[in-house]
Amino acid sequence: MKRLYPIILIVLVAVSGCLKNPFDTRGSQQPAGTTGTWETPATPEVMITNLVYAYNEKNIQNYQDCFDSAFVFSAYEDSIEAEAQGNGYLFQNWDKAVEVTTTENIFTTFSQNGNYLDLTMSISSDNPDNIGDTLAVLYRNYTLTIIKSDSLQIDTTMAEGLASFTLNQSSLNLWTICLWEEIPSGRSGYDWGDFKAEYRSR
């Protein structure tokens, strides 16, 4: 019987190492700025929420993870206005690489003291979401508050509009954005597409 004591002791130690401490507190979420706020995009709605968090936290890694490798951005109304002003190239061939580089420029600028961005989105009651098994189109009203300041003044600009996001589901059942379209409002105004174009690398 004495020979069994060491064996029993080893087994107990091994088992206890695999058991969770019932009094241990649950691990907290990583703070913003480390990994940012991110939820596994098991639904299209979650991915749009991730997009908003990534933008407000200026987390370029999380932001680019929102987009499919074949992503395209389209702003038809803005591109026509830019073409009339001789700047049509600003909206041409806008793929994922352009989106990421442009947003990096934005995040760098608005990470400086005195500069501030705040993005909010809401469901469009006039444009219901269309969600299928592997493809979804979500419409969101947005307001982007843009604050730039220097030693002389503070400038506040509002970019507002309606955007549609087409998302597809990968083989891992996760959703990514493959198409982002600025919906023409029929009225002149400053929208997100205008703002993004200002920071596209020439």
Lowest mean pLDDT among 15-19, 96-100, 157-161, 173-177: 15-19
- Is residue 62 within 8 Å of residue 161, measured between CB atoms? no
Please state the pTM of the whole predicted model. 0.81
Per-residue burial over 20-35, b = 16 or more CB atoms within 10 Å of its CB, e = otherwise: eeeeeeeeeeeeeeee
The share of the chain scoring above pLDDT 70, in percent, equals 82
pLDDT in tens, 121-143: 999 999 999 999 999 999 999 99
Domain ranges of the chain: 39-197
Instruction: Give the C-alpha separation, 164 to 152, whole Å.
Output: 38
For residue 198, what pLDDT band results from cuts at 50, 70 and 90? very high
Tokens for 142?
């947005």
pLDDT in tens, 140-189: 999 999 999 987 889 999 999 999 999 999 989 999 999 999 998 766 68
User: Residue 14: what pLDDT?
Assistant: 34
Instruction: Give the C-alpha separation, 163 to 156, whole Å.
Output: 22
The domain 39-197 is placed in CATH, from the list 2.60.200.20, 1.10.533.10, 3.40.109.10, 3.10.450.50, at 3.10.450.50
Instruction: Give the C-alpha separation, 172 to 80, whole Å.
Output: 38
